[in-house]
Amino acid sequence: MAVESILVFLVVGAVAGWLAGQIVKGHGFGLVGNIVVGIVGAFIAGWLLPTIGLSIGGGIIAAIIHALIGAVILLVLIGLIKRA
């Protein structure tokens, strides 16, 4: 994997994680945590969205939206686990 690809991956993860932290209030994890949440969220959405038949498209904006959906799902699940 090229350095540029890794940087794009991290930027998409950071943006998606930050946006998810803003949407799901009270569950942000700082910059590094948000990057991790965004990246893990992208993997979750990459598995979940095609399974239910949703397609977002291609490009950087679609990648951010894709990762954002997964990161929001992840943050909601983390919030439910923390409450239990």
Residue 57's pLDDT band (cuts 50, 70, 90): confident
Q: Would residue 57 be called left, alpha or beta, if left means φ above 0 and alpha means ψ between -120 and 50 degrees?
A: left
> Would you say residue 84 has pLDDT above 80?
no
* pLDDT given for residue 6 in this prediction: 80
> Would you say residue 69 has pLDDT above 70?
yes
* pLDDT given for residue 27 in this prediction: 59
8 A C-beta contact, residue 41 and residue 16: yes
What is the tens place of the pLDDT at every residue in 16-37?
Answer: 888 888 888 765 677 777 778 8
* pLDDT given for residue 63 in this prediction: 85
Q: In the structure, how many helices (H) and strands (E) does the chain have?
A: 3, 0
